[in-house]
Structure 1
Amino acid sequence: MDGEGYRLVEPDAAIVALPEQAWRPDLVDYAAHDAYRDLAVRPSLANRIGGLSIFLSSMAVLLIKRLVRYEMIPNDVRSDATFGGRASMVGHALKNMVARPPARSARIMRADPGTGHLGRDGIHVVTMRPKDFATLDEVASPQFEVLRKRREQRAGKKRAFEESRGRTTRREQMALFDVIERVLTDAGIMDVASAYMQRPGKVIDVNPQINDASDTFWKDIFPDTPPSELPGSAYCHRDASGGDLKAIIYMTDVGPTNGPFSYVVGSHRMQISTVDDLICEANDSNGLAGTDAVSRARFAALPAKFRQKGSFGNDLLPTAPLAQDIACGLWAITAPEGSIVLFDTKGIHRGGMVESGERRVITCVIG
């Protein structure tokens, strides 16, 4: 389903959709992983206490965020520290607690024409009309310039993922939000998202992002161990969020070496219990999912049930069945500027791993 003048992009013919399966805590075998095995067998008391304390405190915060559906509250409301802003935040939270969304299991069964490829594959890609891209590019340019200057301040230093992404609010960037909403509507993206979520969709957040080959966050794994080849599932993850949708707009042409967004087709159907999903989200948000020595030691010291991550791709052994399924189902979306990638964030995916050139995108949260 796409709007007039918008071109639907199909998955590569060689892609094999991920077979329907259930998430299991042991999908990553940490007891057999060289970077975790010894840490898990002989954890220190300090790491046991420290890791569990971090986990439990982050879980408490996460439960509150899930109760109020925090990601569905617009960024300009979340970031407003005034009394009126806090009151508005409480109002949004109460409204979200009452208006619960349909269960995810019901959403992913809606592989009907109204959900486009999103219901079938977990991802729906279209390329917008040149005139619409030109309008969006003009309105977004000032935001990218601000972000570029911020990145230049870190030239020659390692950047974290968040240092490559800007944040905007509807109140400050009304024109940008308006153009994006018009483009997403004309492209049929909002109709597809609404049909999939079974409720009217709206743009919650808009985040410009720039990446180039100087960004190494995606490959700086196990920094205290000898260099080794990245696993085929490197940087693959499920988002630590309440299960929203995202739309990534390519603001530059993206080829194989320019960091194409990649998605494991069909992975949105992976079934996971609420408890396991919360455990993964907690560890992704509290730092225990990191692959540095300290994070690994604390993570490995957790009880076995709590040793789960949404950002599991760096840890997945190449011989694991899921690693082989990912290799068969991973679709790297190489596409021209103006392409829009709508996807279920609970499917397995990874962002731009840029080897050459520059990649500019705008990531939009749709809730």
Structure 2
Amino acid sequence: MQSETKSYPFDHLPMIDYDAHPAYGRVMSMPMLGARLKAITIFGYGFCLTTAQRMIDVEHLPRPVDTGNRFVTTLRSLPTYLRLIMLQRLGRFSAGSAYAPKTERGTAVFTPLARDGFAAVQLGPDKIVELRNQLEAAFKTLEHRVAIPGDPDSTRVVIDPTAAPDLYKWFNQVAADAGLTEAASGYLKRPVGIGRIAADVSEAPNGALSSPFADVSVDASPCDGFKVDDSYNVLKMVVYLGETGAANGPLTYVAGSNRAGRRFWDAMIRRANDLCGLSSTLPAARETFYALPAGLQRKATFGADLVADSNFTTAIAENQVAVTSSQGNAVIYDPAGIHRDGVPSQGRRSAVIVTFTELPR
């Protein structure tokens, strides 16, 4: 149950001493100059990517069509993109408190969302049935797809809004009626709607999962899977299409950690490492990551690196909330906060993942 007594106690995301980490500094030699230069070069590429994403705010722009030459399509759409970017920047600058919730439904969602970073929601059973029917083809596609560990795209099918406009129109109306759109707009201080819908199927692995640090005989962290997303200025929502308990992959959120994820440069560094692949726990990536200066040794996908006796591990364990079907069949959350999603230990979980963004005007 969502609890007002839980709140992440730090004002920043977890910081890890990689020199003392049993899978990094304790088993790796001091990086040489060449290794350090290579690491900084790779990080620089990731930093350029995340800077461009932040400046353009790509999450809020229409996605280029998948057919034809995407570069040419993007160039043709450039005037539209520039217009949208300018309108969005002006709208945010002048918004202030104009989008604060004004209805009881919106306030009921907004209050826990602002306080904890997430809010459990109960959608009507008829809405769940309708979602299943409209996404039947997408779930059939997932039935024949082989899931790749660590690759969420292999378990999801994104629905193109140009191919399914009726679904997006219907879902946006459902979100508006439930107060979700109002709460999301109040939280993000701008007008938003559902701009991305994805069908998702997560299954429990066959057999026990091995530690990502098995090559150096280090046990898996109790926080493995916890992360912050590399998206900006969005909210996400998971809608469970079946009974979802503690064992089959509910969203788990660390209450209050949304406030800790708002540091600008910290977020840039973490996302840069994720975008260029340095957050991986594979041995080669670990060596390159460890060659970075200590101030750049931060990840958005950090859960696997937290050791069991860390203060941050304790804080996550004590303040995490698993949102199961007993609390609601959907949960809206700020992905900039610490969370873990879709990691079943038993059975499977069928869900719909939606993203609240600014819609084209």
TM range (shorter): 0.7 to 0.9
Which of 168, 173, 188 is residue 182 of structure 1 equivalent to?
173
Q: Which residue of 2 aligns with 1:296?
A: 286
Paired residues, number: 346
Query: Comparing 115-124 with 38-47, which one deviates more in the overlay?
Result: 38-47
Instruction: Give the gaps of 5 or more residues in structure 1.
Output: 1-9
Q: Which residue of 1 aligns with 2:88?
A: 99
Q: Which residue of 1 aligns with 2:155?
A: 164
Query: Normalising to structure 1: TM-score of the pair?
Result: 0.85
Assess if the C-alpha contact under 8 Å between 1:252 and 1:337 holds in 2.
no
State the alpha-carbon separation in 1 of the partners of residues 83 and 42 from structure 2: 28
Amino acid corresponding to residue 182 of structure 2 in structure 1 = D
- 1:207-226 alignment to 2 at 5 Å? 207-214=198-205, 221-226=212-217
Query: Comparing 111-120 with 312-321, which one deviates more in the overlay?
Result: 111-120
Which of 192, 200, 203 is residue 191 of structure 2 equivalent to?
200
Q: Does 1:71 align with 2:66?
A: no
Q: Could you report, residue by residue, the CA deviation over 1:192-241 in whole angstroms, capped at 9, with x for unpaired residues?
A: 1011111111222111111111389986522423262x322211111112
Assess if the C-alpha contact under 8 Å between 1:35 and 1:222 holds in 2.
yes
Instruction: Quote how far apart the aligned CAs of 1:94 are.
Output: 4.7
Q: Secondary structure at the match of 1:256?
A: coil
State the alpha-carbon separation in 2 of the partners of residues 350 and 79 from structure 1: 34
Assess if the C-alpha contact under 8 Å between 2:101 and 2:186 holds in 1.
no
Q: Which residue of 2 aligns with 1:43?
A: 31
The 1:76–1:130 alpha-carbon spacing in structure 2 relative to 1, beyond 3 Å, is farther
State the alpha-carbon separation in 2 of the partners of residues 307 and 262 from structure 1: 25
Q: Does 1:147 align with 2:147?
A: no
Amino acid corresponding to residue 156 of structure 2 in structure 1 = R
The 1:89–1:185 alpha-carbon spacing in structure 2 relative to 1, beyond 3 Å, is farther
Assess if the C-alpha contact under 8 Å between 1:254 and 1:359 holds in 2.
yes
- 1:1-367 alignment to 2 at 5 Å? 10-12=1-3, 16-23=6-13, 27-38=15-26, 42-75=30-63, 81=70, 83-84=72-73, 86-89=75-78, 91-97=80-86, 99-100=88-89, 102=92, 113=107, 115-151=110-146, 160-214=151-205, 221-226=212-217, 228=219, 230-270=220-260, 272-335=262-325, 339-367=329-357
Q: Secondary structure at the match of 2:145?
A: helix
Query: Normalising to structure 2: TM-score of the pair?
Result: 0.86
State the alpha-carbon separation in 2 of the partners of residues 292 and 94 from structure 1: 42
Instruction: Quote how far apart the aligned CAs of 1:319 are.
Output: 2.0
The 1:98–1:52 alpha-carbon spacing in structure 2 relative to 1, beyond 3 Å, is farther
State the alpha-carbon separation in 2 of the partners of residues 12 and 83 from structure 1: 50
Query: Comparing 84-93 with 176-185, which one deviates more in the overlay?
Result: 84-93
Instruction: Quote how far apart the aligned CAs of 1:175 are.
Output: 2.9
Percent identical: 26
Instruction: Give the gaps of 5 or more residues in structure 2.
Output: none
The 1:262–1:83 alpha-carbon spacing in structure 2 relative to 1, beyond 3 Å, is same
The 1:19–1:97 alpha-carbon spacing in structure 2 relative to 1, beyond 3 Å, is farther
Q: Secondary structure at the match of 2:267?
A: helix
Q: Secondary structure at the match of 2:37?
A: helix
State the alpha-carbon separation in 1 of the partners of residues 223 and 331 from structure 2: 20
Instruction: Quote how far apart the aligned CAs of 1:50 are.
Output: 2.4
